[in-house]
Amino acid sequence: MMNIDKEIKSNTFYQLVANPHVYLRNLLERTCYIGVFTLLVYIIVNLLNLETYTFPATMHSLIGFIIGLLLVFRNNSAYERWWDGRKLISTLAAETSLINGRLNVISRSNYYSRKHVVIFKKELIELLMLNGAYLISRKSRSISEIFNKEQDKIIENLFTSINEIDPTNHTTSGLNTSINNIINSTAQLGRIKNTPIPVAYVYHIKISVLIYLVTLPFGIFHDLGLFAVPIVMLLYYIIAGVEIISSEIENPFGSDPNDLPTEELFMSIIKTIENE
């Protein structure tokens, strides 16, 4: 198979069309299915002479308004999770830079503390790598249990290393605060990963959209005829697109183009620690 240039792969159009997990391709496939369904309904309605059986236009207007409110709330909730994830990772980067600066000051002021500083940095890197791997992993009870045990052990080692670095140095006291902030940020990142949007709410939106679109042709066939097919497809593209976007960004950690570049962000933070 011909290798595709990296620049082409990073192109927005290529990602939208070629990646099956991306919003546009998924949405276009579903829109085509809806178009075929609407066309079949149109053919059946004409064969059975059911053109006179229509739904009131006000019914679809009211249902569409309610679905719009539900989708707005769904999209806002999902984007808030995405944005919170980005802010928390930025907090990790800021606290890590602060820790690195403090450790470098301690190393230069006390030769005997350098060994413990190296150990502390190694343990902090392990904590960040563990959290980064956990965020992009698929959620399961066994993975969560292993993660919690390993994280607790690393945190215990970190606080032990702080006491061994140089308790008399006033700079060391700031390490406790920064580590507490890092632990708090990683806990909130885990909360975002492990707390999905309630399933009942998600299914209610999906079923409501389906009912709206299944009944919509009967409300517009009488006036638009065959032109009702592209109209229904357009409406589905708009309505379902918002719902698909919400589903994509609900869990912001992963490798999809719509996810945060979690692995790259954590590796960037780790490089900050490794730099002297």
Query: Mind listing the pLDDT tens digit for each residue in 160-182?
Result: 888 777 666 666 777 888 889 99
Report the alpha-carbon distance of residue 117 to residue 107 in Å, rounded. Answer: 7
Lookup result for tokens 């919003």: 23
Sketch the domain layout of the chain as residue ranges.
Answer: 20-78+199-258, 94-196+262-274
Query: Mind listing the pLDDT tens digit for each residue in 116-137?
Result: 888 888 999 999 999 988 988 8
Helix (H) or strand (E) holding 260: strand 260-261
Query: Mind listing the pLDDT tens digit for each residue in 66-82?
Result: 888 888 888 888 889 89
pTM above 0.95, yes or no: no
Helix (H) or strand (E) holding 76: helix 57-109
